[in-house]
Amino acid sequence: MRLKFIMILALAIITLNSCSIDDGNSNAIINYEALAVESVELPQAFTFGDVHVIPVTFDFTNSCQNFAGFEVDSNLNERVITVVASVSNGNCLDEVVRTEQNLRFLAASNGTYVFKFFTGFDVNNQPTYLEYTIPVEE
């Protein structure tokens, strides 16, 4: 019984020591942060049932930021959109790099959509937005 326990313990130690989540990349993602939207190109109207491509322009402020995606909060026909960047730990260079990514949007209901794109915070630390109201045509 004791030999069996020692064998299982040795196997567990070997297995746990051989696993590593470090892929050798010293620039591991540390956190995510919201980036301010600079501009958006929206159509005058959406076509019901179509997928629309919306170019969104924003700035990276240092070389450790990478585009991670869009966070979209939906409430009925209102969409609050935030650009999310992953931030890695490394030797970051402070540099502003203007970037454009496409947000794909399906117009799945009639009426109008209200889009609010996060642009940062005001002097009272309240979020500010670029706001657009776009009708949906049949």
**CATH number of the domain that 41 lies in?**
2.60.40
N-term to C-term CA, the chain: 75
Within a domain: residue 24? Answer: no
**21 Cβ contact list (under 8 Å, min separation 6):** none
Please state which of the ranges 53-57, 92-96, 125-129 shows the lowest mean pLDDT: 92-96
Within a domain: residue 113? Answer: yes
With 0-12 / 13-18 / 19 or more C-beta atoms within 10 angstroms meaning exposed / middle / buried, residue 58 is buried
Q: pLDDT band at 126, cuts 50/70/90?
A: very high
Q: Give SS3 for 22.
A: coil
Q: pLDDT at position 11, please?
A: 57
Q: pLDDT band at 49, cuts 50/70/90?
A: very high
Residue 87 has pLDDT above 80, yes or no: yes
Angle at 27 between CA 23 and CA 30, to 5 degrees: 105
**104 Cβ contact list (under 8 Å, min separation 6):** 51, 52, 53, 54
Q: pLDDT at position 27, please?
A: 58
Which structure tokens are listed for 22? 């470090």
Helix locations, the chain, DSSP H: 2-18
- Which structural domain, as residue segments, surrounds residue 106? 29-137
Q: Which residue has the tokens 């931030």?
A: 87
Q: pLDDT band at 90, cuts 50/70/90?
A: confident
Within a domain: residue 13? Answer: no
Within a domain: residue 81? Answer: yes
Q: Which residue has the tokens 């297995």?
A: 15
Q: pLDDT at position 3, please?
A: 56
Within a domain: residue 15? Answer: no
How many domains does one find in the chain?
1
Within a domain: residue 126? Answer: yes
Q: pLDDT at position 29, please?
A: 73
Better-scored residue on pLDDT, 19 or 72 = 72
Q: Which residue has the tokens 């005001």?
A: 122
Within a domain: residue 1? Answer: no
The residues with which 55 forms a beta bridge, in sequence order, are: 102
Q: pLDDT at position 138, please?
A: 84
